[in-house]
């Protein structure tokens, strides 16, 4: 397997620049080379994966972005025939057949949103409520996908996972 890591980002999302720059800086700090590919619409996904394959990328990080988040199933389907281990921020990616996800808990974020709504419905002014964000991070691993990729996930990582899909 190639040691080259790919990063899939949405070029239409200006917030991706900071994430991509951070990934490049982190890679450089440990002497790792990465390949940045972009997709901002469905028709660009296949081209991005073709480029990943052409450049002999060995693993892929998929950036969190509304478009890429909604394409979890397609991304997992594109990664599978290429034997591409990939990580995404959302659990839905792992549930769709991706290897793993690591990111903020959507369930926790929705719980906080529900608390805000409840306080507002009880008469609180939104401007007076403290800003909160989800701080719960979830790790999900799909062992079926790992097996298909010929990967052995260390027991210590499995023990830390919030969910292991078998």
Q: Residue ranges per domain, the chain?
A: 5-105+136-165
pLDDT band, very low/low/confident/very high, at 152 (cuts 50, 70, 90) = very high
Question: Is it the case that residue 66 has pLDDT exceeding 60?
Answer: yes
- Say whether pTM exceeds 0.85: no
Q: What per-residue confidence (pLDDT) applies to 2?
A: 61
Question: Is it the case that residue 3 has pLDDT exceeding 90?
Answer: no
Q: What is the rounded distance in angstroms from the CA atom of residue 74 to the CA atom of residue 68?
A: 9
Q: What is the rounded distance in angstroms from the CA atom of residue 2 to the CA atom of residue 21?
A: 22
Q: Which DSSP helix (H) or strand (E) runs through 36?
A: strand 34-38
What are 34-61's pLDDT values in tens digits?
A: 999 999 999 999 999 999 999 999 999 9
Mean pLDDT along residues 94-108? 91
Torsion of Cα atoms, 13 then 61 then 86 then 166, to 10° = -90
What are 72-86's pLDDT values in tens digits?
A: 999 999 999 999 999
What are 132-142's pLDDT values in tens digits?
A: 888 889 999 99
Question: Is it the case that residue 20 has pLDDT exceeding 80?
Answer: yes
Q: What per-residue confidence (pLDDT) applies to 106?
A: 83
Q: Which CATH architecture has domain 5-105+136-165?
A: 3-Layer(aba) Sandwich (3.40)
Which phi-psi region, left, alpha or beta, contains residue 95 (left: φ > 0; alpha: ψ -120 to 50)? alpha
pLDDT band, very low/low/confident/very high, at 1 (cuts 50, 70, 90) = low
Mean pLDDT along residues 119-137? 90
């Amino acid at each position: 397997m190639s040691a080259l890591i790919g990063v899939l980002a949405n070029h239409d999302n200006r917030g991706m620049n900071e994430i991509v720059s951070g990934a490049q800086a982190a890679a450089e700090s440990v002497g790792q080379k990465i390949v940045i590919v972009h997709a901002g619409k469905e028709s660009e996904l296949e081209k991005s994966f073709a480029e990943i394959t052409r450049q002999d990328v060995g693993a892929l990080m998929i950036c969190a972005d509304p478009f890429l988040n909604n394409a979890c199933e397609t991304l997992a389907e594109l990664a599978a025939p290429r034997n591409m281990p990939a990580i995404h921020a959302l659990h839905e990616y792992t549930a769709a057949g991706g290897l793993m996800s690591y990111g903020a808990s959507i369930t926790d974020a929705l719980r906080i949103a529900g608390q805000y709504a409840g306080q507002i419905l009880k008469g609180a002014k939104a401007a007076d409520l403290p800003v909160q964000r989800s701080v719960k991070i979830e790790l999900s691993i799909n062992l079926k996908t790992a097996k298909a990729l010929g990967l052995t996930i260390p027991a210590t990582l499995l023990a830390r996972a919030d969910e292991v899909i078998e």
